[in-house]
Amino acid sequence: MSVTKAPQKAELVRRASSLIPLFREKALWMDENRCMHQDAIDALTNAGFLKMRVPVRYGGYDTDMRTIVDVISEVGRGDGSVSWTLAMWALSAWMVGLFPEAVQEEVFSTPDVRICGILSPGAIAVPANGGYLVNGKWSFNTGARQSMWNTNAAVVPTADGGHDPVMTLIPISDLEIIDDWYTSGLRGSGSVTTIAKDVFIPAERVLPMEPLLQGQHLSNLAPFMPTACTTVSAVALGLANAAKDAFFERLPGRRITFTSYERQSEAPVTHLEVAEATTKIDETGFHAYRAADMIDTKGASGEPWTLEERARVRLDLGAACQRAKEAVEILDSASGGSSIYRDVPIQRIERDVKTLNLHAIVHPATNLELYGRIICGLEPNTPYI
């Protein structure tokens, strides 16, 4: 077993900040080629970011949530697709940490292993010979072509005609890949469809979903949904900061066409827009870090999570993404007709943040409704909490 000396938190964040120019440079290529650029993958690997969610005993860093939010959001200032893909890889690596030791040993024996993952049950797993035979397909499989393993959700038929949801772990080489990733946003994430045709999975690589969602797994990690939600909220923060950077970079030379303003920076309307967007970005950070601090604090104290606390992390995710989207939309609409060219970052950032907000777990309306139900005294209407 190798013992890794984990870099200091500040060092990880510094590395992320230093990679922003590289991700920005490759952003257009990734947007056009609908997958991550190899240089970006190498950069994430060399910076150690693929180790953040790997347990220390397998050479990983077991990084705290706040630092992970710092890193993923800094990466997002560079490019949204890289940030989103890193979030998925980090989360799926964390997920592998819930499987039995033998499975973890196998997966993590590859240093900087890349594991993609999907939470929607898209397949049926039928018990067979000490394992399961799986058939089905999963869309939105971020980074699948550049990953070695895939965590997927499936259902196991029960005797009474029902279904038990499970989480499976499958080598990418066992799956067929359909490149259907022709989308309006997060194009560089290459979130293609994977297909399983009679794929056999040994029993130890199948976990029942319910205890996993409840946080009743073997390990003493944080519960899954709060971890997932916080990880993703960092992408929103990164995109919002990217929009601010992009806006201020263009502001100095810009005029407002067909008005008497010589400079956009002198127009009071611009001042309102900039202030509104900036306060909303601050609020995005508030939500992301409140969720992260909750996870880190609970992790340190071992205190159990209440239902309302779990719901509040989903609210924080929804609110972070909503505020980020509002901020990006303000800055995008303040960027004028010249900003719609493909090589101007703001239009891509706007497509990315809109796409992020449409994700089923992220969607603000869904998260607000769920939190609202809980504080009104109702039961949750989803197990994903």
Partner 1 sequence: MEAVKIPSRSELVQRVADIVPVLRANAEWGDRNRRLADESVNAMIDAGVLRMLVPTQYGGYESDMQTIVDVGIQLGRGDGSPAFCATAWWAQCWAVAHFPDSVQDEVFASPDVRICGTLVPNGKGEITKDGAVVSGEWGFNSGAWHSQWKFLSTPAINAAGEIEPIAAVVPMSDLEIVDDWDVAGLRGTGSITLVARDVFIPRERFQWLGEVARQEYGSERNADSPCYRGPIVGVLSNINTGKQVGLAQAAREAFFERIHHRPIQHTSYATQAEWPITHLQAAEADLKIDEAEYHARTLAALVDHKNYSNEPYTMRERAYCRVAVGRVSQLCHEAVNIYNMASGAGGIYSSMPIQRIQRDIQAISLHALNMPIKNLELYGRVLCGLEPNTFFI
User: Which residues would be at the binding site for partner 1 (CB under 8 A)?
Assistant: 251, 265-266, 268, 270-276, 278-279, 282-283, 286-287, 290, 315, 319, 365, 367-373, 375-378
Pull the structure tokens for residue 249.
């970079």
Pull the structure tokens for residue 306.
């209440």
In whole angstroms, how close is the CB of 308 to partner 1 at the nearest point? 11
In whole angstroms, how close is the CB of 370 to partner 1 at the nearest point? 8
In whole angstroms, how close is the CB of 168 to partner 1 at the nearest point? 33
Distance between terminal CA atoms of the chain? 35
**CB of 49 or CB of 371, closer to partner 1:** 371
Place of tokens 């009474």: 160
If you count them, how many residues does the chain have? Answer: 385
In whole angstroms, how close is the CB of 314 to partner 1 at the nearest point? 10
Sign, Cα dihedral of 328, 331, 335, 336: positive
Alpha-carbon span 196 to 137, nearest angstrom: 6
For 142, list phi and psi in degrees, rounded to 5.
-55, 130
Closest among 313, 240, 311, 307 to 278, alpha carbons compared: 240
Alpha-carbon span 184 to 277, nearest angstrom: 23
**CB of 204 or CB of 276, closer to partner 1:** 276
**CB of 161 or CB of 268, closer to partner 1:** 268
In whole angstroms, how close is the CB of 333 to partner 1 at the nearest point? 15
**Which residues fall within 8 angstroms of residue 226, CB to CB, at 6 or more apart?**
291, 294, 295, 305, 309, 310, 313
> Facing residues of 168 across strands?
152, 206
**CB of 14 or CB of 255, closer to partner 1:** 255
Alpha-carbon span 100 to 206, nearest angstrom: 10
**CB of 101 or CB of 266, closer to partner 1:** 266
In whole angstroms, how close is the CB of 325 to partner 1 at the nearest point? 14
Cβ(189)–Cβ(81) below 8 Å: yes
Closest among 19, 382, 15 to 213, alpha carbons compared: 382
**CB of 161 or CB of 377, closer to partner 1:** 377
**Which residues fall within 8 angstroms of residue 286, CB to CB, at 6 or more apart?**
none
**CB of 137 or CB of 373, closer to partner 1:** 373
> Facing residues of 155 across strands?
124, 165
In whole angstroms, how close is the CB of 313 to partner 1 at the nearest point? 12
**CB of 82 or CB of 274, closer to partner 1:** 274
Closest among 81, 165, 72, 150 to 117, alpha carbons compared: 150
**Helices 80-96 and 224-250, interaxial angle, to 10°?**
160
In whole angstroms, how close is the CB of 323 to partner 1 at the nearest point? 8
Place of tokens 């909490």: 385
**CB of 104 or CB of 322, closer to partner 1:** 322
In whole angstroms, how close is the CB of 320 to partner 1 at the nearest point? 10
